[in-house]
Structure 1
Amino acid sequence: MGLWLIPLVLAMFAFGTGDFIVAGILREIAAEFDISEALAGQLVTVYSVVYAVAAPLMAVLAARWSRRLIMIGGMSLFVISNVVATVSTIYAVLMATRVTSAIAAAAITPLCFSTAGTLPPEDKRGKALGFIGGGLMLAMVLGVPLGTWIGGRHGWQAAFWFVAGIGVLVLIGMIFLLPPLPAGDDATLSARLKPLTKGSILRGLSCMLLVSAGGMMMMTYIAPVMYAAGRVTTDGIAVLFLAAGLAGVVATVIGGAGADRLGPIRMVILGASLLMASMLTLSAMVGWGATPLALLVVLAVVWSLAIGTLNPPLQVWLISRSGPAANEVMALNSSVTYLGTSAGGVIGGLLLAQWGPISLPLVAAAEVAIVVALLLTAPDRAVPAPADQPATAATGAA
């Protein structure tokens, strides 16, 4: 691995922190602008919607531009947006900064994944993708709590200064550490998007949608599920979140390395088997209703490890079938991940209301079984990268 990976990982850390930090300072923002917390919460909603729509559009529009230039320009926009947020005195202006921040993240994030999935030698791509995913997980464990604490101590503006500061570090790293990352080949737009019509790409994206929906469903409703399983209260939930978050950071690295050594399909089967077993065990614990907290912590670590080991090999599998459309496919992957997290909250709420906490882990296990079935029945094989792809042209820089 080269030093170029550092700013990409930190970029994911910055985007993850910037995305979710609003939830931690929601009350302070609502009070500052004299609006309801529900209206303040739309800062998160708008960010997610803009990101989901902008990611594939930006990938297509910028297909022939230097990826290094896009990353540096996008990170500059991200920093400026967060600086403007700190001095916003009108809610509409603050909302506008969320839109521009989302566009910047949507332009850069797919490039981080596609670069990590093509620049290193083939036997190290899974590990590189694992590090990229680990940056996002680290944001949930470290960035968001730290930024929330800073915002609580020094005002909500300080939280945005914190995010902007991370962005400046990333920008410096991109300027000095990123190698030349030229645009892709001279393929036409229709040729570039042709792999998106393949059944394997749609299968892979469907798998990412299901994994994201199942994971977010369990994390969103972890409180009622764990209360039903062992009468876990708020303090216990905090412990579970911390344990699961730390396990998730480790898991993304394990999943990437495992994809390199075992192949993406075998790693997905391994992670899926572990996740299904943990979900079925959790449903049994909910039925029991008196599970000790220590056992629930262990189970949370196991299922977080399982989810974390699924994402990198799924991304490796997708990139291997993308051909020259790796950037576009990773953009769509980012979009479906956001859609999956949104759908997970809705599905989980419906299940909880209709059938109670025990239904959530059972449905999560079923979703993982569908993921395995989709991958194992995919009819086609990997698409070789073009000769001028960074995967081959820049192997020596990895």
Structure 2
Amino acid sequence: MAAAAAASLVPEQKRGRALGMTLGGMSTGTVVGVPLGLIIAEHLDWHATLWFITALGLIAMIGIVIWFPSFPVSAPPSLRQRVAMMTNGRVAAIVGITFMTSIASLGLYTYIATILDNLADITIVTPYLWAWGIGGVIGSFSIGTLIDRTGRPDLLMAGILAIMALAMFSLPLVLSFSILSFLPFILWGAMGWASQAPQQHELLRLQPDHGAAVVALNSSANYLGSAIGSTLGGMVMLAGLAPSRLPFAAGCLILVTILGQWRIVSSKESVDKREKT
């Protein structure tokens, strides 16, 4: 709902920045909120952390009621309209790319500690989580401007996937090089968070009358992919795959996803040519 609202409050040429700002708030909240919550719990207790979250939520609610502008919204789509939305070829393709990306990226993220321990006997995971999170803040805040300037979120998504694959393949190779070992995590986090805005932008363009519903569908695919990716990671390790091979497996899955994204790019270019002629 936040993404759909943000996109509706700005002109179309600034929609990417609005979506990026929303994602930037989420990523910053993740990077800052987790350690802050742990600090509060350490000095007080976990109840204090939850009361702090409650207070922040109350402040946000009051701010929305007082300052958030009203804007027209369409009626929620019926069940038939939702089914039609999901069976739309372009919508299904975009959501499918989100799903595959999440399986690889968030599924791999689940096993960061295991991977680091297996690859380089690294037991202190926090710096790498910080690197991933800081990359997420950079990626989510910067992607919106790139979308608005290029006007090609589909091409940007292809580039995001390519950089993500590079980060995953290089992760096992650079862990022994001190400061360089954080670079794959920064790139991975940046591309993972940045991947949502181009998808949301395209879906809102395709389904302007049901923006909240189609963005919710994309988010559902993202979280479902995370759950399935985590499950698959556990299953393949139980089957005997070494944790050190998980980045390679995730990178290969992203390569397959790039092929799917390139088909989306090609089909869109074909449609644009037909419309011009």
Q: CA deviation at 1:283?
A: 4.2
Instruction: State how far apart, in whole Å, the 1-side matches of 2:78 and 2:31 are.
Output: 42
Q: In structure 2, what is the equivalent of residue 268 of structure 1?
A: 157
Cα-to-partner distance string for 1:237-289 (whole Å, 9 max, x where unaligned): 1111112111111110112221222220121122111111111212445xxxx
Q: In structure 2, what is the equivalent of residue 165 of structure 1?
A: 55
Matched, 1:137 2:23: no
Which of 239, 253, 256 aligns to 1:370? It is: 256
- Structure 2 residue identity aligned to 1:238: T
* 1:1-398 correspondence runs (5 A): 111-184=1-74, 190-191=80-81, 194-234=84-124, 237-262=125-150, 263-285=152-174, 291-353=176-238, 354-378=240-264, 379=267
- Give the RMSD, CA atoms, in angstroms: 2.3
Secondary structure of the corresponding residue to residue 176 of structure 2 = coil
Q: CA deviation at 1:193?
A: 5.5
Secondary structure of the corresponding residue to residue 120 of structure 1 = coil
Cα-to-partner distance string for 1:39-71 (whole Å, 9 max, x where unaligned): xxxxxxxxxxxxxxxxxxxxxxxxxxxxxxxxx
Q: CA deviation at 1:184?
A: 0.8
Q: CA deviation at 1:186?
A: 9.2
Q: In structure 1, what is the equivalent of residue 273 of structure 2?
A: none
- Structure 1 residue identity aligned to 2:180: L
Instruction: State how far apart, in whole Å, the 2-side matches of 1:275 and 1:196 are.
Output: 27
Instruction: State how far apart, in whole Å, the 2-side matches of 1:305 and 1:190 are.
Output: 37
Cα-to-partner distance string for 1:21-43 (whole Å, 9 max, x where unaligned): xxxxxxxxxxxxxxxxxxxxxxx
Q: CA deviation at 1:177?
A: 2.0
Instruction: State how far apart, in whole Å, the 2-side matches of 1:182 and 1:166 are.
Output: 27
Q: CA deviation at 1:192?
A: 6.4
Unmatched 5+ residue regions in structure 1? 1-110, 382-398
Change (3 A) 1:371 1:260: farther
Say whether the 8 Å CA contact 2:158–2:262 is kept in structure 1: no
Say whether the 8 Å CA contact 1:230–1:292 is kept in structure 2: no
Say whether the 8 Å CA contact 2:76–2:210 is kept in structure 1: no
How many residues matched? 265
Instruction: State how far apart, in whole Å, the 2-side matches of 1:182 and 1:199 are.
Output: 28
Q: Identity percentage over the alignment?
A: 26
Instruction: State how far apart, in whole Å, the 1-side matches of 2:261 and 2:165 are.
Output: 16
Q: CA deviation at 1:366?
A: 2.4
Say whether the 8 Å CA contact 2:162–2:258 is kept in structure 1: no
Instruction: State how far apart, in whole Å, the 1-side matches of 2:71 and 2:139 are.
Output: 28
Instruction: State how far apart, in whole Å, the 1-side matches of 2:27 and 2:155 are.
Output: 23
Q: CA deviation at 1:164?
A: 0.8
Unmatched 5+ residue regions in structure 2? 270-277
Secondary structure of the corresponding residue to residue 140 of structure 1 = helix
Higher relative contact order (CA 8 A, sep 6+): 2
- Structure 2 residue identity aligned to 1:245: G
Cα-to-partner distance string for 1:208-242 (whole Å, 9 max, x where unaligned): 222222222222111222233332222xx111111
